[in-house]
Amino acid sequence: MNCFTKQMFSRLICLCILLCTIYAGSRAQNFDIDWLRKINPQYPNSQVWKTVSSTAEPLAISIPIGMAAVSLLTENKKLEYNAYETGASVLIAIAATGGLKYIINRPRPYETYPNDIHPDTYDYGHSFPSAHVSMVFSSATSVFLNYPKWYIGVPLGVWGISVAYSRMYLGQHYPSDVFAGAAVGAGSAVLSHWLNKKFFLKKKK
């Protein structure tokens, strides 16, 4: 097992430990709901945060599709493989998030605290982790791993943080949900990046 492989598995193990720690901590302490109460207003009707939240799924999916389209037009094979990598990252994040939601089965915060948390809409899907945040961080991290420039990383980081905040502002998720979503998304991108380098880019060379 080479050095990069060992690092990847170490990161995945750390990710699992982090998720367990976040969830256990949120169950044992009041910081999760206390923090959410400060972020979520009684009337979460800001169109700005609703719009930011709504960008998660379409943009996360559109980014790899756009990369693939440009790669076909320019006949850029490296960009094509990077597009597949980003798309795979999003798919891994969706699968991992869905699995964790099913296993952990955590209710939405406004279901557990109906008098304290005020959602913009009622969505009775499971809360932990945040699928919106997971998709955003998987797509954003994947792009940044292949194009590590500050002028790419800063907008992607702002986008990810903004979506995470919007999900709390709208009363849909606890802070631990969005932290876990970010960890799942970033971990999915790292895994997809490793798979791309090991099985596709290596063969190309």
The sign of the torsion formed by the CA atoms of 154, 160, 163, 167 equals: negative
Residues 94-103 as b/e (b if ≥16 CB within 10 A, e otherwise) read bebbeebbee
| pLDDT attached to residue 202 | 58
C-alpha to C-alpha distance for 101 and 82, rounded to whole angstroms: 28
Class of domain 3-204 (CATH, top level):
mainly alpha
pLDDT in tens, 120-171: 998 878 999 999 999 999 999 999 999 999 999 999 999 999 999 999 999 9
The distance in angstroms from the start CA to the end CA of the chain is: 21
Domain boundaries, the chain: 3-204
pLDDT in tens, 59-100: 999 999 999 999 999 989 889 989 999 999 999 999 999 999
Query: Can you give the pTM of this predicted structure?
Result: 0.84
Question: Which class for 154: exposed (0-12), middle (13-18), buried (19 or more C-beta within 10 A)?
Answer: exposed
